[in-house]
Amino acid sequence: MKAKTTVFYCTECGNETSKWAGRCPSCGAWNTIVEQAAPKAATAPKGRGGMLPRAKAHPIDDLSAEEELRFPTGMGELDRVLGGGAVKGSLVLVGGAPGIGKSTLMLQICGKLCETNKVLYVSGEESPHQLKMRAKRLNVSSDKLFVLSETCLGDVLESVNEEQPDALIIDSIQTLYNETLDSPAGSVGQVKDCTMSLMQLAKGQGITVFVIGHVNKEGSIAGPKVLEHMVDCVLYFEGDQHMTYRILRAAKNRFGATNEIGVFEMRNEGLAEVPNPSEMLLSGRPEDTPGTCVTCVMEGARPVLAEVQALLAPTAQNVPRRTSNGFDYNRAAMLMAVLEKRGALKVSSCDAFLNVIGGLTLDEPAADLAAILALASSYLDKPIGNRVAAVGEVGLTGEVRSVSHLGQRLSEVQRLGFERCIIPKHHADRLESIKGLTLIPVSNIADALREIVRS
């Protein structure tokens, strides 16, 4: 009897190989190769209405270049991340850890979408009664909102043909399966095939499709990483489940920028938008405490103030411990080396802990100076000051370099009540004076450390 053919997939990037390997040859990730039964040649699922007509090639000069059709989702923070609203006929993937609030977010936008559009909400995890209870708690009610508890792709497509919705929400893609394939629901083959069918549905009929995908700590095979190249927009819902704030970030967007973020607060009645994340991130900040410094980073076109905290303590081990949360670990190690070499502070003999408050991830070099000052403040056990902020990139020679959008950052710093801001000396003379904000230009970290001693 002929053995059943199997293929191997990488759970990180979706790369397919003919044999198992400890390391993925495509993305380089370790222990992510899993075995799945090779899918049969899939036919069109029942209810698909036959194959779509064959597309015809057109000269590019004959095609129109009009702006894409957008419509608001009812949540300004989500519209910001999408680039100004949802695009008609697009396929959007919303990923995140289970329980982070993805289903709540999708159900909440249904209330606004149903004012002008017909929405079909398909859930493979909840019954219609459970959906009704959750919608009642979120105050979502409309005669244009239809719910369906189904996991078979063919039945879902049949319902789409019957209802003809303007927007379709799938919760979640891991529960959907194509009955023409032998692999179980949630496998790479099933997830990719179902997503491909939904993409053809979105492009062929102009239906905006939102797909929810779960990500877990084990890097499950059903994670949305294998789908990122297939969809138009990838949104990640981030945050600690034990905290009330959530951050929505765009990892890919064919119709807008990928560096925008949306901030929400999880409440009993659902997700509430946070229009001013700077105040949220700085709430509860301790006064006159060493080891903390505020910086301003750009999240898309929005300046956001973030608090960087550091703790240095003499180590009791041969190798000092290094921990970084919300700040790149390698960059933090580099900044500590610069602080010791150029700032003459013996930080190599200390355990170092660096943390960004509020679950925000700082991947911009403009936060370097604040991290340096927070580390030095903790080492010297001397507070920087409650009304002092710092913005600037730090190089290996200890120089402080200028950053982009400095004027916009300083305006946000002043608006939040800060009185002084340490900035790069380069181009400082070109900045317009800001009422109520004293600028302290520095050329290197030695100048910045002197400001700590003086304060």
pLDDT of residue 23: 87
Name the 3-class secondary structure at 334. helix
Rounded to 10 deg, the angle between the 368-380 and 329-343 helix axes is 60
Name the 3-class secondary structure at 109. helix
CA 263 to chain centroid, in Å, comes to: 10
pLDDT of residue 361: 86
Distance CA 406, CA 418 (A): 15
> Quick one: which H or E segment has residue 129?
helix 128-137
- The residues with which 170 forms a beta bridge, in sequence order, are 122, 211
Query: Could you give phi then psi for residue 264, rounded to 5 degrees?
Result: -130, 160
Share of the chain above pLDDT 70, in %: 89
Name the most confidently modeled range: 192-196, 241-245, 364-368: 364-368
Neighbours of 315 (CB within 10 A): 14
User: If we measure between CA atoms, which residue out of 237, 234, 209, 238 comes closest to residue 224?
Assistant: 234
153 pLDDT above the threshold of 90:
yes
Distance CA 192, CA 14 (A): 9
pLDDT bracket for residue 321 (50, 70, 90): very high
User: If we measure between CA atoms, which residue out of 174, 179, 293 comes closest to residue 226?
Assistant: 174
pLDDT of residue 48: 46
Q: What is the pTM of this model?
A: 0.75
362 pLDDT above the threshold of 70:
yes
- The residues with which 271 forms a beta bridge, in sequence order, are 266
Greater pLDDT, 42 or 289: 289
CA 127 to chain centroid, in Å, comes to: 29
Dump pLDDT digits (tens) for 68-114: 688 889 899 999 999 889 999 999 999 888 888 899 999 999 988 99
Mean pLDDT, residues 223-244: 79
Residues 6+ apart with CB under 8 A from 192: 14, 226, 227, 230
Distance CA 402, CA 365 (A): 10
Dump pLDDT digits (tens) for 243-270: 788 889 888 899 888 878 888 998 888 9
